[in-house]
Amino acid sequence: MQRKRPKIVKKPIKKEPKVPIVSEDIKTKITKVRIIGIGGGGGTIVSEIAHKMPKASFVVANTDSQALKTASQKSFRFHFGQGLTKGLGTGMNPELGMQAALIEKDKIKKLLEGQDLCIFVSCLGGGTGSGAVPVFAKMAKSLGNLTYGIFTLPFKFEGERKMEIARESLKKVKNHLNALSVIPNERAFQLIDRSTPLRQALSTVNKTLTESLTGLIETIYEPGLINIDFADFRTILEGRGRLAYLNTVEVERKKDSAKNLI
């Protein structure tokens, strides 16, 4: 009598769910940082930084067409207000600088769209930077970008009028910024003698600011001993802490009454 062979029950093979292949570009969102120098002084500083930091994008914005010709080739040159200023500066008239920016609002919007962080750099006290910075910052904020302003204040010997223009600009712009660093030019005399010519004194301020801003961008993009990614940086800017990064700066943060330093 033959034995019946036991039936072999084949278990269904579970198919592993297909995992879509994701490119590295999609897996790791690249932080988009745009640094905008507005006016003559801001443009000079941004031009100096542009060739050192290839990962960020740079814009030099001015009403003065001649000043734009000297801007770094690695920055986008944004000439605004031509119909109003005829390609010239604003002659220490911040109202003219503001109007020049307002008539170019659509172009400014396109310039700032799609960025994670917009850093505005300007030497306040003139007409273009002082008048246009609040317009640029307000537009960036309305687009949902993080906004950070880095500004210098005039030397005392440049006159009370320039200081008045600078202070008025600060009042207008600070409500549109997540963080604000203010660097009085007078602090340059902690490093140089008071008899130093104006051009050399300004160069010292610009060099210090350039080095510090370069370090800030490297902190966002490059891994270091302390790992700070953009999410951390966003938390710093949006949280209650005060941001005190640049050397010898005064930082104001809206909605900030805490004394802790980040």
pTM, two decimals, is 0.77
Higher pLDDT, 241 or 200: 200
Per-residue pLDDT tens digits for 93-122 = 999 999 999 999 999 999 999 999 999 999
pLDDT at 90 over 60: yes
pLDDT of residue 218: 77
Residue range 30-252, CATH number: 3.40.50.1440
Using alpha carbons, list the distances in angstroms from residue 92 to 40, 98, 126, 132, 151: 12, 12, 5, 12, 16
Whether the predicted pLDDT of 254 surpasses 60: no
Residue 255 has pLDDT above 50, yes or no: no
| pLDDT bracket for residue 223 (50, 70, 90) | low
pLDDT exceeds cutoff 70 at 174:
yes
User: What's the rounded mean pLDDT across residues 231-259?
Assistant: 48
The predicted structure's pLDDT at residue 188: 81
- What percent of the chain is predicted at pLDDT more than 70? 73
pLDDT recorded at residue 172:
97
Q: Say if residue 3's pLDDT is above 80.
A: no
Question: Beta 76-79 vs 117-123: how paired, if at all?
Answer: unpaired
Give yes or no for a contact between 44 and 206, defined as CB atoms under 8 angstroms apart: yes
Domain extents for the chain?
A: 30-252
Task: Name every residue whose Cβ is closer than 8 Å to that of residue 71 and which is 6 or more positions away in sequence.
Answer: 43, 46, 47, 60, 62, 77
pLDDT of residue 240: 40
58, 72 contact by CB (below 8 A): yes
| Average pLDDT across the chain, whole number | 80
- Considering only residues 238 and 58, tell me which one the structure prediction assigns the higher pLDDT: 58
Confidence bin at 54 (pLDDT 50/70/90): confident
232 three-class SS:
helix
Q: Average the pLDDT over 170-198 and give the result.
A: 87
Confidence of residue 243 (pLDDT cuts 50, 70, 90): very low
Residues 6+ apart with CB under 8 A from 224: 218
Residue 139 has pLDDT above 50, yes or no: yes
Percent of the chain residues topping a pLDDT of 90: 51
Dist. CA 221–CA 86, nearest whole Å: 39
Q: How confident is the model at residue 249 (pLDDT cuts 50, 70, 90)?
A: very low
CB count in 10 Å sphere of residue 261 = 10
Arithmetic mean of pLDDT, 32-57: 90
Vertex 232: Cα angle to 230 and 237 (nearest 5): 90
pLDDT computed for residue 247 by the predictor:
42
